[in-house]
Every structure is written in C-alpha cells, then in structure tokens.
Copies of this chain bind each other. A is one copy, B any other.
Amino acid sequence: MTSDHWIAADWGTTNLRLWAMRGAEVVHQRASARGMGGLNRTEFAQVLADETADWAEWTGAAIVACGMVGSRQGWHEAPYAKAPTLAQTPLANVPGTRVWITCGVSQDNPADVMRGEETQIAGLLAARADFEGVVCLPGTHTKWAHISAGEICSFQSFMTGEVFELLAGKSVLRHTVASSCATEEEAFDAAVNDALAQPHRAYGRLFQLRAGALIGDLSPETARSTLSGLLIGWELAGAKPYWLGQEVALIGAPALAALYARALRHQGVQVSEADAEAATLAGLHRAWKRIGETA
C-alpha cells in the first residue's frame, strides 16, 4: 500500500460497487449484489474483506463509501447534514476500521432526505466549481436540488422510478406494458406534454394503458413509453419551481437521464448530462482527500 491507494464504495440498498483507486484513477472495479438491505450490522466488514481480497496492493487502504450503508439500518449511521449545507458533507468513521462514510443530507420543511446523491453533487462540483443552478438525479427516488455557492440549498424527492417499476411490474398494467424496450419518442413526448399540461388528468390515464390494449391496439411498447412519459411529465409538473428558467445538470444512468433531458429540452430548459458513476467517483475522491482533515 502506498498513500495514494484507496478504495471507493457505492453501497446502496441492493448493490455494492467497489473501485480500487490510485488517486483519481480507477485501477480495478467490481460490482456485487451484496447491498446493505440484505446484510446485518456484523456482516459488512466481512463482505468488504471478501470483495477486495484479491486487491493485494490495497490491503489496509482507506475506504470511502456513500449510500445507504450509512443509514440507521446500515453498517454505521452517518448522520444527516441539514440543508442548506455544502454538498461535500462530513465523513463518519466506522469505529475500529479504515472505513469512512459520507453523511447524507436532510431538510426539515418539506421533510426530505438523500443519501449518496450529495456525493454525486459534490462530484459534479469538483468539475464545475462555480455551478449555480439545479441538479436533477433521476433514479428510484429522483432528486431535484438547488445548488448555489457549493451548497445544496433545498431539494425534493419524487418516487418516479419506484412508481414506474411497481406499475409496470406489479400492477394490472404488467399485462400490457412491455418489460423493456426502446422508448417510442412520439408516445413519450405526447404523454409528457399531457401530464405537464394537465397533471390532474394524468392519474386517470393510467388504467387506459390496460384498457387500450384489451379493447384497442395499444402495443406493449407504446404503453411502456406512455407510462414513462406520464410519470416523468407528472414529476416535471411538480418540480417546475426547480427547473423553470434554470440551467439543469442531470446526473444519472444514461438511458434514464436521456429521457429527462428530452422532456426538459422540450420545455426550453438548458440541460447538461453527467455520468452518474463518474460523479460518484469524483465525489468520493474529494471525500478521500479530506480524510486527514476530519480524522
């Protein structure tokens, strides 16, 4: 081990991703399904040891983690920093280890929380130090955040990703919505526009995706694209105070972020897209460089 060796960890509820780092450079990486949701408190250390066992050069290296591993049900609680707060939140050390976990961010009113996204925002700000505007992080629980002077000023979560998975996979719509397909842009755009223009009507359109297939010729692919458009349009209607007249930086998985970018650009919003993994790594890298300060 040399002092520029460290390990980055994105440890969420369902997945664990690990990178063997040399400074800002990725040397090895690995993904596993050993997310915190399936582990009890005594198992985390062993999982980490198992998953990094063949990274001999990194034996004893510092590990910097973000995500649900720092929740109350995780390995060690990394308390929330209260917004407004620097995106670069404090680090919590797991006692007796070389593991550090970035703190999440909470907001009192309206009540909201994030864990992991603050690290991606910090990563974005590492590359764009004077970014002022709005960051949108599409995902299971999409986050919108106002950023100013390096701080997360306020934010709001939308359950769009989870609602989409539940409706497409677990509701009666599962019979009529394709399990995966390329987005049909025309159906997606129309649904976004409808939901944005008349959000109170979007809810009533959900069952039409079932009925339209039963008695009409609605295809599973069109139904999926429409469902996606309705939910994203609905979210945009609620998130309008965030994006209206603002520059929006999207951080997310490319395919999903592209849908948000498409919908926002149609509203005349200036959008940039950043890769979620790169943002996570940049944020963890910033955190790693600060270990000395907080230790």
- A239 at interface, CB cutoff 8 A: yes
Q: Shortest beta-carbon distance, A84 to chain B, in Å?
A: 15
- A113 at interface, CB cutoff 8 A: yes
- CB-contacts of A74-118 with B (<8 A): 80, 106-108, 110-113
Q: Shortest beta-carbon distance, A167 to chain B, in Å?
A: 7
Residues of B within 8 A of A206 (CB): 158-159, 163
- Known contacts: A111-B216, A211-B112. The answer to whether A204 contacts B170 by CB under 8 A is no
Using CB atoms, name the residue of chain B closest to A209: B111
- A162 at interface, CB cutoff 8 A: yes
Residues of B within 8 A of A110 (CB): 205, 208, 211
- A189 at interface, CB cutoff 8 A: no
B113 touches A204 (CB 8 A): no
Interchain CA distance A158-B234 in the complex, whole Å? 16
Question: CB-CB contacts of A208-229 with B at 8 A, as 1s and 0s?
Answer: 1011101110100000000000
A159 touches B171 (CB 8 A): yes
- A157 at interface, CB cutoff 8 A: yes
- A274 at interface, CB cutoff 8 A: no
A156 touches B238 (CB 8 A): no
A111 touches B157 (CB 8 A): no
- CB-contacts of A153-173 with B (<8 A): 156-159, 162-163, 166-167, 170-172
Interchain CA distance A156-B204 in the complex, whole Å? 7
- A141 at interface, CB cutoff 8 A: yes
Which one of B80, B166, B202, B214 lies within 8 Å of A113 (CB-CB)?
B214
Chain A to chain B contacts (Cβ below 8 Å), 18 pairs: A106-B215, A107-B211, A111-B211, A112-B207, A113-B210, A113-B211, A157-B207, A158-B204, A159-B206, A162-B171, A162-B172, A163-B167, A163-B171, A163-B206, A200-B234, A201-B238, A202-B238, A204-B238
- A55 at interface, CB cutoff 8 A: no
Interface centre among A108, A113, A211 (most CB of B within 10 A): A211
- A237 at interface, CB cutoff 8 A: yes
Using CB atoms, name the residue of chain B closest to A158: B204
Interchain CA distance A195-B210 in the complex, whole Å? 25
Interchain CA distance A292-B235 in the complex, whole Å? 54
Residues of B within 8 A of A214 (CB): 106, 111, 113
Residues of B within 8 A of A113 (CB): 210-211, 214-215
Interchain CA distance A208-B141 in the complex, whole Å? 11
- CB-contacts of A2-31 with B (<8 A): none
A235 touches B166 (CB 8 A): no
- A199 at interface, CB cutoff 8 A: yes
A111 touches B208 (CB 8 A): yes
B80 touches A215 (CB 8 A): yes
Interchain CA distance A107-B208 in the complex, whole Å? 10
Which one of B80, B170, B203 lies within 8 Å of A234 (CB-CB)?
B203
